[in-house]
Amino acid sequence: MADRFPLIANSSANQIQELAASDQLNLTGSNLIFGDSSDGSSDDVLSFGASGDLKIFHQADQSRIVESGPSVLKIMGSDVRLSNTANSKDYLQANDGSYLRLYHDGNVRLETTGSGVNITNDLNAAGISTFGGVINAGSGDIT
């Protein structure tokens, strides 16, 4: 069935048609909604690639993006953020040519700069730690 194409509902013509190879499915102004799978499995999966090596999974308790092939999974953008579901707190911000920030509970804890790294509040290091250059302790104590 490799030469077959998906069926589409043509509501203006009140019929179901086969999508021709040269056609595109244009959803401008519409949403594409996937419901639960009908195979009885506990998760829904969208697969991409000839071997299905990129998958987006959805289950009741989690959602995952999985790249299982020899490729690299890249998320690209000039301002990339990982945030909570309410979009009220970031976990991570990466800004092209500027900074990488790691957050804890909405507060910046680590930020890269043009000259190094800024750490807000405490830094706990276990084991052997080696530092080069000047160590500035500010007004705090070094113990």
- Check the CA dihedral 72-77-79-82 and report its sign: negative
Q: Is the whole-model pTM more than 0.85?
A: no
- Give 9-63 pLDDT, tens digit per residue: 666 666 677 766 666 667 777 776 666 655 556 667 888 887 888 888 877 788 8
Q: What are the C-alpha distances in Å from 126 to residues 15, 123, 129?
A: 69, 10, 7
Gap between the Cα atoms of 125 and 29, Å rounded: 53
Query: Residue 104 in contact with residue 92, Cβ under 8 Å?
Result: no
- Tell me whether strands 7-10 and 54-58 are parallel, antiparallel or unpaired: unpaired
Q: What pLDDT was estimated at residue 1? A: 42
